[in-house]
Chains A and B, each alone.
Chain A
């Protein structure tokens, strides 16, 4: 009997804050039927925004996966000066405002920035262009793989790796045959989180991209632009596409998570 009030309080909080708003967006997008919604997400701008978002994620996610695994191996298995600092630095993007991240990259790579003049001389434009957007996305989604892999690496210990080494396996063979299978679910989980973050990033990309329609507009920027132009169906439809990706992410997360826990 004592649990009823708590149950009601907790569930209504979730309903008010989470479930109802998300549900309504789906309703709003399809309010006038499937046709307008489909038309809205297949305009050239929307298609380009979608393509750009996927392209950025396709570069950022593998980069962060490889970096993340190397970084996690370095943090857990190696001893080097500044290890504690590196460990803390990896978490930094989580504590930073995306706008601040965007600003930092802007200051670094704009024409008057530190690397700006060097890059401009060579005809490479980073700010208000694709390279800048990729850079901030990598930065923003950096911590996830590392954070998932580090605890697993700590837990599996080095026994099996040492055994492999005594049996004559090279460093690479040990990694591929022993370490990698042990951490693959952690990597998968980290990749899912990284992908979600990379696809959905708004603040940092908003600062560095310059919002050029059809050139540097990602899905999230497209949603905002359509909303500001009072194209609500366009904004809601594009949101639904992003929300469906989010739900797919969620399903992937629940698929990977239990396996990681019961390992």
Chain B
């Protein structure tokens, strides 16, 4: 807690004017905007792909499933800098597939997808496991097509879990540093995310500016997490009614 207090104290020492100046700096604004846009994209992709992967891990049967299930946690265990390097090796210059996305916004998106991969899968999996198949069968026997069954039976049951996973992924994506620092190229105004911007400010001897942007990110993170939490409660209450 004390470190946080120091952070807020440092950012406020320059006064409201200084704080405002630091966070309205065009480079900071660009970095924040990019971070938010990419993080939201990461959340959306995770919500869809995470659910699909969780689905095939629970409802499907195929050879090698156990291995696939085990490697899902790899991004948790792998140091983030190694994650960045692995992506750069494959999708960077001289990569074997001939795709070079290094130093682009796509690269940032990919890096964040990598580190946030397990969150939605691991929150959806247990719910899917306990989800009663009889409900789906009942819906099907009443003439519901696969899409209708999904929309009315599966989706409402999974949605709260997806939201929890998305919340974790968002918190992770917005602050990610190690995986992004190598692959993004950190071009100001183009591919510089907020955490890299903060790092740059620290290195160039402007801790007050770094602290101001940090505090802003913290506030955004907490607001979004509270928002997702509220949405989740609303959805579950809505269900029961």
Query: Interface on A for B, CB 8 Å cutoff?
Result: 2-3, 6-7, 9-11, 13-14, 17-22, 24-25, 28, 89, 92, 94-108, 113-114, 139, 193, 196, 199-203, 206-207, 219-221, 223-224, 227, 235-236, 239, 242-243, 245-247, 249-250, 253-254
Q: Which residues of B contact A (CB under 8 A)?
A: 1-4, 6-7, 9-10, 49, 52-53, 55-56, 59-60, 62, 68, 70-83, 85-87, 89-91, 95-96, 110, 113-114, 117, 146, 168, 171-172, 174-178, 181-182, 194-196, 198-199, 202, 207, 210-211, 214, 217-218, 221-222, 225
Asked if B82 and A105 sit within 8 Å, CB to CB, the answer is no
Q: How far is the CA of A51 from the CA of B172 in the complex (A)?
A: 28
Whether A220 pairs with B56 at a CB distance below 8 angstroms is: no
Q: Would you call A236 and B85 a contact (CB within 8 A)? A: yes
Residues in chain B near residue A196, CB distance under 8 A: 76-77
Contacting residues, chain A, for B73 (C-beta < 8 A) = 250, 253
Find chain A residues with CB under 8 A from B83 CB: 21
B60 touches A103 (CB 8 A): no
Q: Report whether A202 and B177 are in contact in the complex, using a CB–CB cutoff of 8 Å.
A: yes
Instruction: Assess A21 versus B68: contact at CB under 8 Å? Given A99-B195, A246-B77.
Output: no
Are B79 and A95 in contact, CB atoms less than 8 angstroms apart? no
Q: How far is the CA of A22 from the CA of B71 in the complex (A)?
A: 11
Considering the chains assembled together, what is the distance between the CA atoms of A208 and B88 in angstroms?
A: 25
Query: Smallest CB–CB gap between A43 and chain B, Å?
Result: 18
Are the CB atoms of A13 and B49 closer together than 8 Å? yes
Shortest distance between the CB of B181 and any CB in chain A (Å): 7
> A109–B174 Cα gap in the complex (Å)?
26
